[in-house]
């Protein structure tokens, strides 16, 4: 027998002009989630259903879609062993109870009876505890008896022995009462805990209504056939973000450094349905309703209009009624309700404008298929998945800012692998197998260079000293105030191999034409205005093992006498 295979695809909003009788039989569309594509915001879920469809007109009913399913994103597609035509695809929201009422009632009765038995047992133990407490109070009252009288010499010592027995009896009865009360208190606490657990279980049995999305697909089968249908839809309450591990091996004298960059994903969702054993795909796309760039409104410039002087308001005649005065005031100034409505309209217009300005446009797209099957629960719990690993040959550089801290820091300069772009995310840093902290990785395009800091480098010694710091006055005809400062930086490499070193410092920059700043010293910087920051200087060099170099630099600031200067940002 020849099997005819037909591919079907139809959006939920589409309607085919086809007569469908009202008495069409309903076929349950029992489906299971097989694949999920997670975006930075939202996800696309794919459900699969295998159905046996008899000849004629029918309605396939899918009731297991979550309430969050976006109507416009629902698509039905698949293939069949014969001719199968689809008509309209309708959606609606349903309220479905979690539990079967019959099962819920039987379980409820069992829990209620167990709670009643525990409450009765608790009442007996509570009465025992109250009796022990009363006995304790009675025994404590005996302590208030007159103190033991002294026995005179020669008198019968039996009186003293009687008092000893009384006090011994009071002590033993008091200890026994306290012991009984504590034991009963512990039992009461245990009963309360068990009753609370059963009451929570009882509340969970309540027939809570769960909102779901129902999809009804009208079909016509030319003959009895089998069909494999796929239901695709998007949900908003899901996301993923990038996590990275950077494992640096600093190498040795004859071993080059290496870097292993591990890319992971942290996936979480609260869509109302668990994703169990699904094929998980991660996408950098950002599907949204605002897929177009915002529209600019024209901007005009004009003179500020002259504000006319307020006209004097004539006093109302005495014969004018209060209602007439209110009507005239409303006509001249506007009613409070009208002004409130105008203010409300203005606030709404501002809110809409701000909402349009917050649209996000994706500049690239990549898809990562996670190997194997993955389970992501709808509790919001983070699920971590490995995406890929990349071995990189970095170049190491030591950077220091001795003006702020005489400590060298190790950086690894790398070029991002030429695969997919690296999204921003948190990066865990490991140096020679030791965890040293976390950092932030920015958005990196394929091949883009970036430097990652790996903490302090104690094998490079930094020293910083101020050599000169003085103020003076120069000039005969027009005197000038001067501020001269000089510094000395020493850097020593105590590594076993050559290391690149970058030392940063800065000098003041002038904001006034009369203030002159001159760079001095015998060690000119390698770069000026580093990272587009005015006045920032960099000295870059290679240091051999056990080599030490000095950087001597400074600046001279001059300005007209009689004026004062301040240093700041």
Tens-place pLDDT, residues 108-154: 778 888 888 888 888 888 888 887 777 777 766 665 555 555 555 55
Which of 243, 275, 215 lies closest to 72, judged by CA?
215
The answer to whether residue 19 scores a pLDDT higher than 90 is no
Domain span at residue 473 reads 460-560
Asked if residues 240 and 121 have their Cβ atoms less than 8 Å apart, the reply is no
Lowest mean pLDDT among 13-17, 469-473, 549-553: 13-17
Confidence of residue 548 (pLDDT cuts 50, 70, 90): very high
Q: Where are the alpha helices (DSSP H) in 44-100?
A: none
Reduced to 3 states (helix: H, G, I; strand: E, B; else coil), residue 70 is coil
Indicate the average pLDDT of the chain. 79
Average pLDDT over residues 328-337: 46
Average pLDDT over residues 469-476: 74
End-to-end CA distance of the chain: 85
The CA distance from 23 to 272, in Å, is 33
Q: Based on the fold, state whether residues 443 and 465 are members of the same structural domain.
A: no
Reduced to 3 states (helix: H, G, I; strand: E, B; else coil), residue 306 is coil
Whether residue 516 lies inside any domain: the answer is: yes
Q: Which of 456, 472, 502 is the last residue of a domain?
A: 456
Whether residue 353 lies inside any domain: the answer is: no
The answer to whether residue 20 scores a pLDDT higher than 80 is no
Asked if residues 52 and 69 have their Cβ atoms less than 8 Å apart, the reply is no
Q: Based on the fold, state whether residues 230 and 244 are members of the same structural domain.
A: no
Q: Which of 392, 421, 456 is the last residue of a domain?
A: 456
Lowest mean pLDDT among 298-302, 303-307, 419-423: 303-307
> Which long-range contacts link 384-387 to residues 24+ away (Cβ below 8 Å)?
384/243, 384/264, 384/265, 384/266, 384/267, 385/264, 385/265, 385/267, 385/280, 385/282, 386/262, 386/263, 386/264, 387/263, 387/264, 387/265, 387/282
pLDDT, position 377: 92
Q: Based on the fold, state whether residues 277 and 392 are members of the same structural domain.
A: yes
Greater model confidence, 303 or 34: 34
Q: Based on the fold, state whether residues 32 and 181 are members of the same structural domain.
A: no
Q: Based on the fold, state whether residues 33 and 139 are members of the same structural domain.
A: no
The CA distance from 252 to 409, in Å, is 18
Lowest mean pLDDT among 66-80, 334-348, 469-483: 334-348
The answer to whether residue 511 scores a pLDDT higher than 80 is yes
Greater model confidence, 380 or 173: 380
Whether residue 338 lies inside any domain: the answer is: no
Which of 177, 182, 187 lies closest to 125, judged by CA?
187
The CA distance from 54 to 23, in Å, is 15
Q: Based on the fold, state whether residues 178 and 268 are members of the same structural domain.
A: no
Average pLDDT over residues 532-546: 93
Q: Could you report the per-residue pLDDT of 152-166, keeping only the tens digit for each? A: 555 555 555 566 666
Q: Could you report the per-residue pLDDT of 177-232, keeping only the tens digit for each? A: 778 888 888 888 888 888 888 888 877 765 555 788 999 999 999 999 999 999 99
The answer to whether residue 167 scores a pLDDT higher than 70 is no
Return the percentage of the chain with pLDDT > 70, whole number. Answer: 75
Which of 465, 467, 466, 460 lies closest to 491, judged by CA?
460
DSSP-assigned letters across all residues of 427-461: EEEEETTEEEEEEEE--B-TT-EEEEEEEE-TTEE
Q: Based on the fold, state whether residues 487 and 532 are members of the same structural domain.
A: yes
Which of 405, 370, 406 lies closest to 492, judged by CA?
406
Packing angle of the helix pair 101-142, 158-204 (nearest 10 deg): 160
Average pLDDT over residues 79-106: 77
Asked if residues 32 and 104 have their Cβ atoms less than 8 Å apart, the reply is no
CA atoms within 13 A on the CB side of 165: 6
Backbone angles phi, psi at 351, to 5 degrees: -60, -40
Q: Based on the fold, state whether residues 497 and 527 are members of the same structural domain.
A: yes
CA atoms within 13 A on the CB side of 105: 2
Q: Could you report the per-residue pLDDT of 373-426, keeping only the tens digit for each? A: 999 999 889 999 888 889 999 999 999 999 999 999 999 999 998 877 888 999
Q: Based on the fold, state whether residues 18 and 75 are members of the same structural domain.
A: yes
Whether residue 176 lies inside any domain: the answer is: yes
pLDDT, position 422: 87
What CATH number is given to the structural domain containing 177?
1.20.58
pLDDT, position 184: 83
Contacts of 414 (CB under 8 A, 6+ apart): 259, 261, 392, 394, 395, 449, 450, 451, 452
Q: Based on the fold, state whether residues 475 and 504 are members of the same structural domain.
A: yes
Q: Which of 396, 425, 456 is the last residue of a domain?
A: 456
Backbone angles phi, psi at 162, to 5 degrees: -65, -45
Query: 298-302, 304-308, 498-502, 512-516 — which one is most confidently predicted on average?
Result: 498-502
Q: Could you report the per-residue pLDDT of 31-70, keeping only the tens digit for each? A: 999 999 999 899 999 999 999 999 999 999 998 899 999 9
CA 65, 70, 71, 75: dihedral to nearest 10 degrees?
-70
Whether residue 349 lies inside any domain: the answer is: no
Average pLDDT over residues 260-285: 91
Reduced to 3 states (helix: H, G, I; strand: E, B; else coil), residue 15 is coil
Q: Based on the fold, state whether residues 226 and 253 are members of the same structural domain.
A: no
The CA distance from 384 to 375, in Å, is 10
DSSP code for 399: E
Q: Based on the fold, state whether residues 258 and 377 are members of the same structural domain.
A: yes
Backbone angles phi, psi at 291, to 5 degrees: -95, 0
């Amino acid at each position: 027998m020849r099997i005819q295979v037909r591919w079907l695809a139809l959006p939920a909003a589409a309607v085919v002009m086809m007569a469908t009788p009202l008495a069409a039989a309903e076929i349950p569309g029992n489906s299971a989630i097989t694949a999920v594509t997670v975006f930075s915001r939202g996800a696309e879920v794919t459900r699969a259903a295998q159905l046996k469809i008899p000849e004629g007109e029918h309605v396939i009913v899918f009731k297991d879609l979550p309430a969050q399913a976006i109507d416009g994103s629902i698509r039905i597609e698949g293939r069949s062993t014969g001719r199968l035509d689809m008509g309209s695809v309708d959606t609606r929201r349903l309220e479905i109870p979690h539990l079967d009422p019959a099962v819920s009632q039987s379980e409820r009765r069992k829990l209620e009876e167990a709670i009643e038995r525990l409450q009765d047992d608790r009442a007996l133990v509570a009465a025992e505890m109250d009796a022990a407490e009363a006995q304790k109070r009675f025994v404590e009252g005996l302590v208030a008896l007159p103190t033991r009288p002294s026995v005179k010499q020669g008198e019968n010592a039996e009186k003293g022995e009687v008092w000893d027995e009384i006090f011994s009896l009071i002590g033993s009865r008091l200890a026994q009462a306290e012991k009984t009360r504590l034991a009963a208190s512990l039992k009461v606490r245990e009963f309360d805990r068990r009753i609370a657990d059963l009451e929570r279980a009882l509340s969970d049995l309540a027939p809570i209504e769960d909102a779901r999305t129902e999809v009804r697909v009208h079909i016509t089968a030319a003959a009895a056939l089998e069909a494999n249908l796929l239901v695709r839809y998007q949900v908003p309450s899901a996301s993923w973000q990038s996590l990275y591990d950077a494992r640096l091996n600093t190498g040795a004298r004859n071993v080059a450094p290496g870097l292993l960059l591990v890319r992971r994903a942290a996936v979480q969702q609260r869509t109302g349905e668990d994703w169990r054993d699904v094929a998980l795909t991660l996408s950098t796309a950002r599907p949204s309703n605002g897929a177009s760039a915002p529209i600019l409104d024209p901007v005009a410039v004009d003179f500020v209009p002259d504000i006319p002087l307020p006209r004097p308001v004539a006093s109302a005649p005495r014969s004018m009624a209060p209602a007439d005065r209110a009507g005239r005031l409303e006509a001249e100034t506007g009613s409070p309700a009208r002004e409130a409505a105008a203010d409300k309209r203005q606030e709404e217009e501002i809110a809409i404008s701000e909402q349009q300005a917050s649209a996000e446009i994706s500049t690239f797209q990549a898809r990562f298929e996670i190997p194997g099957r993955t389970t992501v629960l709808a509790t919001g719990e983070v699920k971590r998945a490995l995406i890929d690993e990349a071995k990189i040959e970095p170049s190491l550089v030591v950077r220091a800012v001795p003006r702020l801290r005489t400590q060298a820091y190790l950086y690894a300069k790398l070029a991002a692998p030429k695969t997919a772009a690296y999204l921003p995310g948190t990066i865990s840093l490991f140096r020679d197998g030791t965890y040293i902290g976390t950092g932030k990785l920015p958005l990196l395009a394929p091949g883009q260079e970036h430097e990652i800091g790996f903490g302090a480098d104690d094998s490079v010694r930094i020293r910083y000293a101020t050599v000169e710091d003085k103020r003076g006055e120069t000039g005969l005809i027009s005197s000038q105030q001067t501020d001269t400062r000089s510094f000395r930086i020493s850097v020593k490499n105590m590594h076993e191999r050559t290391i690149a070193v970058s030392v940063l410092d800065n000098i003041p920059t002038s904001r006034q034409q009369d203030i002159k700043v001159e760079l001095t010293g015998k060690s000119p910087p390698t770069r000026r205005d580093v990272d587009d920051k005015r006045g920032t200087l960099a000295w870059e060099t290679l240091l051999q093992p056990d080599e030490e170099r000095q950087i001597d630099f400074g600046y001279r600031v001059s300005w007209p006498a009689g004026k004062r200067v301040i240093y700041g940002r």
